[in-house]
Amino acid sequence: MTICYSIANKLYLNLTNQCNNDCTFCLRHGKQGIAGYNLRLKGDPTAEMVNHSLDGLNLQDYEELVYCGFGEPTLALDVLLKSARHVRESSKIPIRLNTNGLANLAYQKDITPRLHGLIDTVSISLNAKNSREYNKLCRPIYGEAAFSGLMDFARLCARQVPRVVFTVVDILPEADIEVCRKIAHEAGAELRVRCYQK
């Protein structure tokens, strides 16, 4: 199973295949991974397994370390935090968390203070301009609470980490992207428009 993989000089960590969304556009529907890496895990790795996969690498060879993978990394929060702490002890590499922003709903409490001092950038998949469209596209298990939960998570992250970024894919109409840009600004976040990959 692939825990650690590199694309475009960035190092990615695949912590779990579990997700609390079932996005219509997700690569997991019909694919085994990305860029030739099989990211289907037989079971979630432990923090020791994740750290062991990093120990043989020179982290300074990479621009950034990203907790991402084939599932929602905050659903393996303890492993993520132990790994990030391990990295921080030995390296100054920037650390990014790619997330759907639903962690506080998953744990029924604010987990963002635990990111303080460990994560440099939180990148949140916004995907839509409102709750109705988000639910249709992302099919969250939390229903109507998901979009507002995501927004609250972003605002709370902005108090704990240096940089918060919302992402949307470039298949959205330009008018929708501009609404998302305003939403990001109001939450204290940047907006990044990323290329949609089939």
Residue 175: both structure tokens together: 């008018």
Per-residue DSSP letter, 56: T
CB-based burial, 62-80: b 16+ in 10 Å, e otherwise: bebbbbbbbbbbbbbbebb
d(CA 15, CA 69): 7
Percent of the chain with pLDDT over 90: 78
Into how many domains does the chain fold? 1
d(CA 19, CA 28): 10
Which pLDDT value is given to residue 31?
75
Beta partners for 6?
Answer: 11
| Selected residue with higher pLDDT from 198 and 60 | 60
Taking the CB of residue 147, how many other CB atoms lie within 10 A of it? 24
Task: Say which residues have a Cβ less than 8 Å from residue 34's Cβ, sequence separation at least 6.
Answer: 7, 27, 197
> Is there a contact between 113 and 104 (Cβ–Cβ < 8 Å)?
no
d(CA 178, CA 73): 28
| Selected residue with higher pLDDT from 169 and 52 | 52
Confidence grade of residue 198 (pLDDT, cut at 50, 70, 90): low
Examine the pLDDT at 143 and tell me if it is beyond 70: yes
Q: What CATH number is attached to the domain comprising 132?
A: 3.20.20.70
Domain that holds residue 158: 4-194
| Segment 48-67, tens digit of pLDDT | 999 999 988 999 999 999 99
